[in-house]
Amino acid sequence: MTSNARKRFSAMRNLALAITCGGVLAGCQSMGGGVALDPDNTSYKRMVTQGEATKIIVPNIYDGCQQYDPKMNIRKSAVGQITATDGTVITVPAETAAQKGLGPKSFDLYNECNKIRPENTAATSAANVPVVEIDADGEVITGYIVADNYYEMWVNGKLVSVDNTPYTPFNSSIVKFKVKRPYTMAFLLVDWEEHLGVGMEQFPVPVTPATSQYYPGDGGLIARFSDGTMTDATWKAQTFYIAPLMDPKEVVERGNIHDTPNLGGRTHPFARKPNCEAKCFAVHYPIPENWQSPRFNDTNWPRAWEFTDQEIGVTALPAYTRYPELFDGARWIWSQNLVLDNVVIARKTVR
């Protein structure tokens, strides 16, 4: 483009933005990088389900893990469908890039399935991690990620990394991407489950006579990047699947905040364990179409909540505890209920 043409284009673009945003100024804020946000069109219409998924779509989206040690905690990551009371068919626990076979798959920091278990940070290397290019003239950023249980990571709407192990054994990953500021990271996070649709798993595994067949598991994400970005309460986090519930009324809505404040607590062991088992309810919300986009308007989403290692239950998790230097300063985050919120989107725009 010539200089004059560029000026004309810029003037036209500004005019177009003025027309687009004129009536909805509140939802059309500048991002600082000159990109306007979409209007806040998030639907907060709840969908209610009861009981377990009536149809299994995929019995196990990851069957590549061989049990070479009896202590390995290998679980099937199944995907099912359930119909809400309003007729909506919902995929549980979530519709994921992993299920669709999208990539790139994550590069292992620690992964028992692939026998990659460096003893400490000094024994790790990011040298062979492929760089996902978002901007050719951007900065190469290296990141370290632990998610309980599944993550997929998008940067500026481009899929950068898909968790190798959707459920268990607990793994951790390294990512590299090339991008210019401002850029937006968006994570889809899933606390996986055996009892599809009621937010419950078997615990502990391997299954023993003492195993609870219906146990509400919990989630968590921690990530730290070489440009100084790390997970903390400056991120946004929204929940889309809340279970197990004795009654859908237990979810209290205040605009964007979908909370469960009356169930004893937000973490184990304080969160109530209901006895409804296969008859439990769940409340779902539609996941917005463009949640990965830098234009997606999360202005009104709640901030992420920070949790301690003890609350997440990772004080003896080698995928994490072997590499304290790689996660130094980062906080475990989730939406407000670590136990009942099972599908969470976390977003952060780095300026």
Q: Using CB under 5 A as the criterion, which residues of the chain lie in contact with Ca ion when the complex forms?
A: 163, 165, 171, 191, 199, 217, 342
Q: Looking at beta carbons only, is 42 or 335 nearer to Ca ion?
A: 335
Q: Looking at beta carbons only, is 161 or 165 nearer to Ca ion?
A: 165
Cβ-contact 205, 305 below 8 angstroms: no
Q: Looking at beta carbons only, is 219 or 288 nearer to Ca ion?
A: 219
Alpha-carbon torsion, ordered 125, 173, 311, 113, to 10 deg: -100
Q: How far is the CB of 149 from Ca ion (least distance, A)?
A: 5
Per-position DSSP letters for 179-228, written without gaps between them? E-SSEEEEEEEE---SBTTTTBEEESSS--TT-EEEE-----EEEEETTS
Q: How far is the CB of 91 from Ca ion (least distance, A)?
A: 17
Report the half-sphere exposure of 180 (CA within 13 A, side-chain side): 5
d(CA 227, CA 348) in angstroms, rounded, equals 13
Q: How far is the CB of 117 from Ca ion (least distance, A)?
A: 15
- Tell me which H or E stretch contains 311: helix 309-312
Q: Name the DSSP class of 16.
A: H
For 227, the token pair is 């440009």
Q: How far is the CB of 198 from Ca ion (least distance, A)?
A: 10
Q: Looking at beta carbons only, is 72 or 350 nearer to Ca ion?
A: 72
Q: Looking at beta carbons only, is 47 or 190 nearer to Ca ion?
A: 190
Q: How far is the CB of 280 from Ca ion (least distance, A)?
A: 11
Q: Looking at beta carbons only, is 230 or 343 nearer to Ca ion?
A: 343
Cβ-contact 255, 44 below 8 angstroms: yes
For 240, the token pair is 């889309």
Q: How far is the CB of 125 from Ca ion (least distance, A)?
A: 21
CB atoms < 10 A from the CB of 126, how many?
15
